[in-house]
Amino acid sequence: MGQRRDLKGMRILITGASQGIGKAMAELAARRGAKVIATARSVELLNELATALKKDGFTLVPLQADITKAEDRRKMVEAATREFGGLDILINNAGIGATGHFADAGADVLRSIMETNFFGSTETTRVFLPLLRQGTKPAIVNISSIVGKRALPARGLYSASKFAMEGWSQAIRAELYKDGIDVVVINPGLTQTNFSKNMLEQKAKVQMDHLRGMTSEEVAEETLLAIEKGKNNLNLTFRGKLLLLVARFAPWVIELFARKKVRKLFAEEISKRHTERAKLVANK
C-alpha cells in the first residue's frame, strides 16, 4: 500500500487527456479541487474542457504535447513548473493500440505502439522525477490494461507494450520508495471509449464489444479513488478480474479456449494446409 491522499489542491498532469479515460480523469480531478494540466497531441478538445471547467471555477490547463517527442516532454515539465511550481501526481494515460495477428503485422506497427505506450511513458516519467521528488505525497500512475497481465490472441502487440509497463512499474515501485513516490498501476478491461476507432490497425477477425465495458467516467472514478486510498494496483471489470483469476489458478483453461477460438476462426486456412500436406505425402 502507498500513501493515502486528498486530491484537493494536488498538482496533477495527465497525458492523453483529450478523450476517453484521460478526459474523464482530468475533469473529475479538477472538479474535486485538483490543479490539472491536461495534455494531448490535439489541443482543441482540451481547450473546450478547460473553458467549461473555468466557468465553474475549476483549474485545468490545456497543453499540446506528444509524449514521444523529447522537446514536448520538456515542455510539460516547464508548464508544471510555471503554472503550479511543481507536480504531485503524474498520470501516464496516453496510448495507442492495434489488433491483428503477429505474423500479419509490420515491424513499424509494433515499434509505434511501444514508442507511445512504453517509451513515451517511461521517458515522461524520467523528466518529471526531479519535480515529483519535491512533491506532496507524490505518485506515478500508469494506465495499463488487463491484457498487460494476461495476453489474448490478436492483441499481442498492444499486450506486449502493457506487459512492459507492468514490469517497469514493479521495478520502479521499489526503487522510488526511498523518494516517497508511489507507483500505481491501473488495469482497465473493456471500456466505452473511442480507443478502438483510433487504433493503428484493426485486423482481428473478431472485434471486442467495447460497448459492454465500463464507461470512461467509471474508470476515472475508480482510478482517482485508488490514488486517494494509496492502492498500488487496480484491476477493473468483472470479466477482467475473472480472466486473471482463471489465468492464475487454471492457466490451461485460458490456453485451451484461446487455441479453440483460433482454430475455429482459421478453420478454412488450416484445412487447406492439411490438404496440401496430404498431397505432398501422396506424391512422394
The answer to whether 164 and 118 are in contact (CB under 8 A) is: yes
In this predicted model, which residue has the larger pLDDT, 237 or 142?
142
Mean pLDDT lowest among 118-122, 160-164, 172-176, 264-268: 264-268
Average pLDDT over residues 195-219: 66
The contacts of residue 66 (CB under 8 Å, 6+ apart) are 41, 72
pLDDT value at residue 48: 95
In this predicted model, which residue has the larger pLDDT, 96 or 91?
91
pLDDT digits (tens, 9 = 90+) for 147-187: 999 988 878 899 999 999 999 999 999 999 999 999 999 99
pLDDT band of residue 38 (cuts 50, 70, 90) is very high
pLDDT value at residue 183: 98
161 noted as active-site residue: no
- Print burial letters for 180-204: b (CB count within 10 Å at least 16), e (below 16): ebbbbbbbbbbbbbebbeebbbeeb
- pTM reported for the whole predicted model: 0.88
How many percent of the chain have pLDDT more than 90? 68
Average pLDDT over residues 64-71: 97
From the candidates 112, 158, 161, 216, give the one annotated as an active-site residue: 158
112 noted as active-site residue: no
pLDDT value at residue 144: 96
How is residue 103 written as a grid cell? 505474423
Sign of the Cα pseudo-torsion (53, 97, 69, 171, in order): positive
18 noted as active-site residue: yes
pLDDT digits (tens, 9 = 90+) for 215-262: 999 999 999 999 999 999 999 989 999 999 998 999 888 888 878 876
162 noted as active-site residue: yes
Q: Which helix (H) or strand (E) holds 141?
A: strand 139-143
pLDDT value at residue 131: 98
The mean of the pLDDT values for the chain is 89
DSSP structure class, residue 108: H
The answer to whether 262 and 214 are in contact (CB under 8 A) is: no
pLDDT band of residue 27 (cuts 50, 70, 90) is very high
From the candidates 35, 162, 169, 231, give the one annotated as an active-site residue: 162
Sign of the Cα pseudo-torsion (175, 116, 223, 233, in order): negative
pLDDT band of residue 99 (cuts 50, 70, 90) is confident
pLDDT value at residue 201: 56
Angle between helices 121-133 and 70-84 (to 10 degrees): 30
Q: What 3-state class would DSSP assign to 190?
A: coil
Relative to beta strand 214-215, strand 233-235 is unpaired
